[in-house]
Amino acid sequence: MKKDFLSIRDLTREEAHELVERAHWMKAEDFRSNLLEGKTVILIFEKASTRTKVSFEVSINHLGGHHVFMTPAESQLGRSEPLRDTARVLSRYAQGMVVRTFGQDKLVELARHGSVPVINALSDDFHPCQVMSDLLTIFERTPEFEALNIAWVGDGNNMSHSWINAAVHFPFRLNIAVPRGFEPRADILQEAKDLGANINFTHDPLEAVREAHYINTDVWASMGQEEEKKSRADAFAGFRVDDRILEAAHPEARVLHCLPAHRGEEITDAVMEGERSIVWDQAENRLHMQKAILEWIYG
């Protein structure tokens, strides 16, 4: 039976914890294997990427496999061919698809009609590989999640949704602060709470970061929202991760950003370059977590 990774909820609680521990071990060992020898994974990216593209390409290489990279001009995702046809054809050519796209529905349809695993490399709803990598970054410093307060400050976007999903499997307290009108999807939030996730929601960023051990943020206008940049900048005033935010947090709080960052908007240059920032370890950990995810799928 094939495994797809479309959101963190595709993992059991035990699998989620095992992935973090396995990726941690892989990083320490500079892990290589021949797991994907003779296998080809197709990377289909409708959205531009630096870290996701390179980290997946290198991950596949480290596991002995090959990849084919396809842009929108080279794939049928944005054109007239039904997705079910694309899924069936590509399944005859390769052993997996890593897809970075807009609608989560595209990933679901590719997974439904294809016979090979599909990995969500980002959609408008979720960014599971990124948040699993972020959990690895936190685990490296504080492996006991039970005592942690983790804050999300910014947009109720795909990253916030994946943090909400992660809170179902990991026992940290998640504090979410977003401006009014930019809340995460109510159904995703409510389902997580029904499953026991410890989540506090507020419109006050200072409340969210109070005693937070880790502070997360992201750009205020994601890909496809460029026309909203000015209105979003006005709405998000006060949500910038700066010295004021850090002063309200735990004295040893660390800062994460999934990148690319718009310095001076959602985060200041001083915070990005400061001693509280763990952004570069966070970016590196995409490589190690994606190797663990690929091993979970193909191992």
Active-site residues, by number, are: 100, 127, 130, 218, 258, 286
286 is in an annotated binding site: yes
Pair 163, 152: CB distance under 8 Å: yes
Does the annotation list 130 as a binding residue? yes
- Tell whether residue 115 is among the known ligand binding residues: no
Distance set, CA 56 to CA 87, 100, 139 (Å): 20, 11, 21
- Spatial neighbors of 74 by CB under 8 A, at least 6 apart, are none
Q: Determine if residue 91 is labeled as part of a ligand binding site.
A: no
Residue 127 known to bind ligand? yes
| 222 annotated to bind ligand | yes
The residue among 203, 246, 80, 214 whose CA lies nearest residue 148 is 214
Query: Is 49 flagged in the annotation as binding?
Result: yes
Strands 40-45, 118-122: pairing kind: unpaired
Q: Is 204 annotated among the ligand-binding residues?
A: no
* Pairwise CA distance, residues 24 & 18, whole Å: 10
Does 158 carry a binding-site annotation? yes
Task: Measure the CA–CA gap between 76 and 85, rounded to whole angstroms.
Answer: 9
Q: How far is CA 63 from the centre of its chain?
A: 21
* Strand-by-strand arrangement of the 214-217 sheet: 198-202, 173-177, 149-153, 214-217, 254-257
- The response to whether 165 counts as a known ligand-binding position is no
Q: How many CA atoms lie within 13 A of 296 on its CB side?
A: 27
Binding residues for L-ornithine: 158, 218, 222-223
Binding residues: 49-52, 76, 100, 127-130, 158, 218, 222-223, 258-259, 286
Binding residues for carbamoyl phosphate: 49-52, 76, 100, 127-130, 258-259, 286
